[in-house]
Structure 1
Amino acid sequence: MKPLLIILGPTASGKTSLATQVCSLINGEVISADSRQIYRDMDIGTGKDLHEYTVNGHRVPYHLIDIRDAGDKYNVNQFQKDFKIAYQEIGQRGATAVVCGGTGFYLHAVLSGHAFSEIPVNDALRGSLEILTVDELRQSFAKFDTAYKDLADTTTRKRLIRAIEISQFLTEHPEKNLEMSNPKPGYEAIIYGLDSPVEVRRERISKRLTDRLENGLVEEVQALLARGISPEQLIYYGLEYKFLTLYLTGEMTYNEMKLKLETEIHRFAKRQMTFFRKMEKDGFVINWLNYDKDAGKQASFVVKHYEEATKKFIKVL
């Protein structure tokens, strides 16, 4: 098969629109690399934008979206398995796999073949970490020196706790640390990145949040709570689901919720970019695109570049 075509970027960068436009030009199918879009009925808060999967009247196929019920837990090990199945199915149809997402650890797992996700859960450790603040968790994580440290996705509290869990396991099992410092090769890929100047990104995030709050996000979280999904389960998903839950359970006023959520989304986008820059330092080439072009023009450029790069790639093989 041809190499993967990956489109990555921080939240609100326009990844979905670009990915679906690209798919419409090259008989592509999207594989989502977003850790929350896998959940059904969590549409607005996760930014699925499913209307964008119809391009010029044609429905673009997608994978790893709406594959789990809200309230379930999912990890990168399950993602790697589901990704492999989707990738093989797309190849059997002679289509091109277009990976779209902003969950850096998922993307890194696809590209590098790391198996950190196989490290078991340590419930006792998690219990002791749950009472710590985010700053205290970061200080704890910083003390470790393992093969995993520079690869860890610490963009949310739950991922930070998992990073500490993995780091402690590798410290206690040095043979695993050595093994994982030399991972199996992952999928070959040509990567494109979407980003914009910080002020533009901040404006987009703020506008999008206001639009979502005014157009169903509150009701979406209310409906999940009404179905019996516990506040703790929703808080686990972070960002929109965390802060809307705190508002709906009376722990925050609406204005407090909106201000805090907006701040945290800005911070999240910054951490996403930090992870992508770290990927570049690890040797992954990301072709950054001009942020101010419309999706159609960007898509044409990406397809042309990808086809040319694929020819060179195949010659090298």
Structure 2
Amino acid sequence: MGNYDLITILGPTASGKTPIAAALAYRLNTEIISGDSRQVYRRMNLGTGKDLEDYMVNGTPIPYHLIDIVEPGYRYSLFEYQRDFLKAYNEIIAKHKVPVLCGGTGLYLESVLKGYKLFDVPANPELRSRLADVSLEELTKQLTTYKKLHNTTDVDTVQRAIRAIEIEEYYLRQPTERRDFPQLNSLIIGINVDRNLRREKISKRLRQRLESGMVDEVRDLLKEGISAADLIYYGLEYKFLTEYVIGKLTYEEMFRLLEIAIHQFAKRQMTWFRGMERRGFTIHWIDGTLSLEEKVDEILNLYKKN
């Protein structure tokens, strides 16, 4: 077998990453670590596209990590993701297995593949108060003034933009030393889906998730006491569905704006992945229209070559 520490499966939303990762993990008798920034939240299932049924392959449950690990409303950080990833990674390799990292959150993936060395950034109440009434456009402009940008691909709400600025402000005031993170040698697989097919799959998936009760999922979270602002913070589905439930949008407006936002998000994901290639990562792109078996065979062939 190959000399890789890890196999990474990445791609834009609705590209079919999870079934591929699960089938690959089944063939290798290994486990999956999620690389998704929102699937960490419990009871946020349809809106985050967990598709937990995909982790059952030929009647065998595939073990997964970093899904359903914190409560909704909590602001899970990149620092925490690195910490939790490393714990899961070490648990899997202790079993003499090669973990499969699967997800579409570019910053999360790159933070572990490149070994970002980060601080646990605390809240800055004074900065949050000062920026509370600033528009998203102005916050995004401010974010671009920092030498080392925090992830801007997911900054689609005021709260997330403020948090990104909070992180950069903290780093400016810290010494250059960071905590250690191991260098991992990963085979990186990208799922390549034609733009038109990707748009078709996104729209179809959105309709299916709405029909499956995604609006009720948001209503239930609000009934639990999760604030509308906290749900909006998570962006995309939770932003627009919450605005619909609280009466800011009609159903038609919600669907139209959400569909556009997901298409834009998928485009930004691909921009991030192409940027990873420019930053020195080798991504082996495989045809997303191949059968599941063909895709897994292609990945295994690449894995065995190393």
1:24 aligned residue: 26
Q: CA deviation at 1:184?
A: 5.6
Q: CA deviation at 1:131?
A: 2.5
Q: Distance in 2 between matches of 1:305 and 1:107?
A: 20
Deviation string for 1:118-163 (max 9, x for gaps)?
Answer: 343322223333323332222112222x2x22x6343223443333
Identify which of 79, 83, 86 aligns with 2:85.
83
**1:226 to 1:152, Cα distance in 2 relative to 1, 3 A:** closer
Q: In the alignment, does 2:14 pair up with 1:15?
A: no
Q: Distance in 2 between matches of 1:105 and 1:199?
A: 25
Instruction: Provide the secondary structure at the position in 1 that maps to 2:46.
Output: coil
Instruction: Provide the secondary structure at the position in 1 that maps to 2:192.
Output: coil
Instruction: Provide the secondary structure at the position in 2 that maps to 1:194.
Output: strand
Deviation string for 1:282-311 (max 9, x for gaps)?
Answer: 1111111112112221011101211222xx
**1:133 to 1:266, Cα distance in 2 relative to 1, 3 A:** farther
Q: In the alignment, does 2:231 pair up with 1:222?
A: no
**Structure 1 regions of 5+ residues with no counterpart?**
310-317
The correspondence of residues 152-301 of structure 1 with structure 2, limited to 5 A, is 152-156=151-155, 157=157, 158-173=159-174, 175-176=175-176, 179=177, 186-301=183-298
Q: CA deviation at 1:273?
A: 1.2
TM-align CA RMSD: 2.0
1:6 aligned residue: 8
Is residue 42–residue 71 contact of structure 2 (8 Å, CA) maintained in 1? yes
1:98 aligned residue: 100
Q: Distance in 2 between matches of 1:134 and 1:3?
A: 40
Instruction: Provide the secondary structure at the position in 2 that maps to 1:289.
Output: strand
1:44 aligned residue: 46
Q: Distance in 2 between matches of 1:193 and 1:51?
A: 22
Aligned length: 302
Is residue 90–residue 97 contact of structure 1 (8 Å, CA) maintained in 2? yes
**1:183 to 1:268, Cα distance in 2 relative to 1, 3 A:** farther
**Aligned letter for 1:169?**
Y
Which is worse superposed, 58-67 or 226-235?
226-235
Q: CA deviation at 1:92?
A: 1.8
Q: Distance in 1 between matches of 2:224 and 2:297?
A: 44
**1:37 to 1:135, Cα distance in 2 relative to 1, 3 A:** same
**TM-score where L is the length of structure 1:** 0.89
Q: Distance in 2 between matches of 1:250 and 1:193?
A: 39
**Aligned letter for 1:160?**
A
**1:245 to 1:307, Cα distance in 2 relative to 1, 3 A:** same
Structure 1 stretches of at least 4 aligned residues deviating more than 4 Å after TM superposition = 182-185
Instruction: Provide the secondary structure at the position in 2 that maps to 1:28.
Output: coil
The answer to which structure has the higher helix fraction is 1
**1:184 to 1:49, Cα distance in 2 relative to 1, 3 A:** closer
Q: CA deviation at 1:197?
A: 2.0
Q: CA deviation at 1:280?
A: 1.1
**Aligned letter for 2:260?**
T
Q: CA deviation at 1:266?
A: 1.1
Q: Distance in 1 between matches of 2:8 and 2:160?
A: 23
Q: Distance in 2 between matches of 1:117 and 1:22?
A: 34
Q: CA deviation at 1:191?
A: 0.4
Is residue 109–residue 186 contact of structure 1 (8 Å, CA) maintained in 2? no
**Structure 2 regions of 5+ residues with no counterpart?**
none
Is residue 18–residue 298 contact of structure 1 (8 Å, CA) maintained in 2? yes
Which is worse superposed, 186-195 or 98-107?
186-195
Is residue 4–residue 187 contact of structure 2 (8 Å, CA) maintained in 1? no
Deviation string for 1:98-121 (max 9, x for gaps)?
Answer: 000011111111012213443433
